[in-house]
């Protein structure tokens, strides 16, 4: 599980290397690598939750895991989206080209799509300057999100490695993994 989280962190780290021009291959590779790390981790987490519940409570455990997973995804998107938007808007405001009308600046402030649309309605050089500034701001926001994501995944990998080290590999029962050098004693009241 920890290895998958580290792979996901590498994918996010790769996203932090995307440039403002081009870079589609790096984005696709970074997202693919992140998903390679996240996918097995989600499946293993599901198995841990459902497998740790008594059989009569497996349905409730599965429902709780599904609900908490959806909530976690929604919160993650909200937090990372807010970080990216804040960085984008801050960078755009700090580097907005002189002479950009207020309406165009407001449209660009809403997001990269608004900046592209506003730049198309401005005269040549001014439109290109606004679009370049918006692309740089968007890339800065992506880098911030990638950095936060990488740090979170590394922290989760450390947490998983330290907390789940006692969990036996999938398919083994806890009895199959000895924890001491002493043979397991059978209670006197158990008969074979």
pLDDT band at 2 (very low <50, low <70, confident <90, very high): confident
- Report pLDDT for 49: 83
The whole-chain average pLDDT of the chain stands at 86
Q: Which of 29-43, 88-102, 129-143, 177-191 has the lowest mean pLDDT?
A: 177-191
- Report pLDDT for 15: 92
* Mean pLDDT, residues 126-147: 94
- Report pLDDT for 181: 53
Task: Locate 92 and state its tokens.
Answer: 């755009």
- Report pLDDT for 168: 65
- Report pLDDT for 191: 53
User: What percent of the chain shows pLDDT beyond 70?
Assistant: 86
Task: Locate 139 and state its tokens.
Answer: 């890339």
Per-residue pLDDT at 176 exceeds 70: no
The residue with tokens 């895991």 is 65
8 Å CB contact between 80 and 148: yes
* Distance from the first to the final alpha carbon of the chain: 37
Which of 54-63, 166-175, 181-190: highest mean pLDDT? 54-63
CA separation for the pair 176, 110 (Å, rounded): 57
Q: State the virtual CA torsion across 119, 122, 124, 130 in degrees, nearest 10.
A: -40
- For helices 24-52 and 58-95, the axis angle rounded to 10 degrees is 150
Per-residue pLDDT at 43 exceeds 90: no
Per-residue pLDDT at 5 exceeds 60: yes
């Amino acid at each position: 599980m920890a290895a998958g989280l580290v792979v996901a962190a590498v994918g996010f780290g790769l996203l932090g290397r995307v440039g403002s021009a081009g870079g589609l291959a790096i984005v696709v590779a970074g997202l693919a690598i992140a998903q390679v790390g996240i996918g097995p981790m989600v499946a293993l987490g599901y198995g841990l939750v459902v497998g740790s519940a008594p059989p009569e409570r497996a349905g409730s455990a599965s429902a709780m895991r599904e609900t908490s997973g959806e909530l976690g995804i929604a919160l993650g998107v909200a937090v990372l989206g807010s970080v990216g938007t804040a960085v984008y808007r801050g960078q755009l405001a700090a580097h907005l080209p002189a002479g950009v009308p207020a309406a165009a600046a407001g449209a660009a402030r809403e997001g990269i799509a608004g900046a592209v649309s506003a730049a198309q309605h401005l005269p040549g050089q001014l439109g290109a300057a606004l679009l370049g500034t918006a692309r740089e701001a968007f890339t800065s926001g992506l880098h911030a999100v990638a950095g936060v994501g990488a740090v979170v995944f590394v922290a989760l990998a450390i947490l998983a490695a330290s907390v789940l080290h006692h969990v036996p590999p999938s398919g083994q029962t806890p009895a199959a993994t000895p924890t001491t050098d002493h043979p397991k004693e059978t209670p006197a009241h158990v008969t074979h």
